Amino acid sequence: MARLHPQIKLILAIIIAIVVGIITDSLGWGIGSFFIAIFFFIWVWSWVFGSPFQSKVELTEDLETLIDKLEQIGRYKNSLPMNARGWVNSLGLYVQYREAASLGRLEAGSNARRSDLDATVDFSSGSFDWKVKKYNSGDWEDLVNPTFDIALWLDSYGGLPESSAATFQKAIDRYHQTGELELPTLKENSQ
């Protein structure tokens, strides 16, 4: 519930104001409760749960490098056809990168429903500095480089060619067994 859309917060404030106004039979209390609810949603809510543009984690050089690589994975994933995007997650690292207007948001981690890294960037500021709201270091970071290789490989083929599907799956299985990723080459695909 920490991430309520601003319009939902406004609607909740209006509903609270109407309910208080009806219960107290006072327009003044209704208007007052509206402003109290708005204050709560704007200031208190952001203070407790944080704003998406408020950095709660210090951005180190290593973390910045990690974010840059995850952003690239997300961009490659977004450029793939819908039916090929899931293959980027083959090793168990889930990366979501979204961009709207001049804002970017990056979420990554080993769980598809809960991220270990949550960062935003405002491209209009010109600084391109990421604001990291959440960062939980863990084993998922070991999957970044091989997942980057998979995303780059898939992007270079525009998805997963049918002729490479079996070899690709074997490479993923081999990675899970040995920790080494050997993706099919163009030569293997033509056989």
CA dist 132 and 56 (Å) reads 6
CA dist 137 and 57 (Å) reads 12
Task: Check if the beta carbon of residue 120 is closer than 8 Å to that of residue 104.
Answer: yes
Compute the Cα dihedral for 18, 24, 26, 30 and give only its sign. Answer: negative
Could you read off the pLDDT of 128-147 as tens digits, one per residue?
Answer: 788 888 899 999 999 999 99
pLDDT tier at 22 (50, 70, 90 boundaries)?
confident
Which of 67-71, 119-123, 129-133, 156-160 is predicted most confidently? 67-71
Sheet holding 103-109, edge to edge: 94-100, 103-109, 117-122, 131-135
DSSP-derived letter for residue 80 is: S
Does the pTM surpass 0.85? The reply is no
**Beta-ladder partners of 99:** 104
Could you read off the pLDDT of 147-159 as tens digits, one per residue?
Answer: 999 999 999 988 8
Q: Hey, how many other C-beta atoms are within 10 angstroms of the C-beta on 64?
A: 14
Alpha helices in the chain (DSSP H): 6-24, 27-39, 45-49, 61-79, 144-157, 165-178, 186-189
CA dist 181 and 114 (Å) reads 26
Could you read off the pLDDT of 29-63 as tens digits, one per residue?
Answer: 888 888 887 777 666 656 555 555 555 678 789 99
CA 139 to chain centre: 18
Task: Check if the beta carbon of residue 21 is closer than 8 Å to that of residue 27.
Answer: yes
Of 66-80, 123-137, 157-171, the range with the lowest mean pLDDT is: 123-137
Instruction: Determine the straight-line distance between the first and last CA of the chain, rounded to whole angstroms.
Output: 52
Task: Check if the beta carbon of residue 24 is closer than 8 Å to that of residue 30.
Answer: yes
Whole-number mean pLDDT of the chain? 83
The whole-number pLDDT of residue 129 equals 83
pLDDT tier at 97 (50, 70, 90 boundaries)?
very high
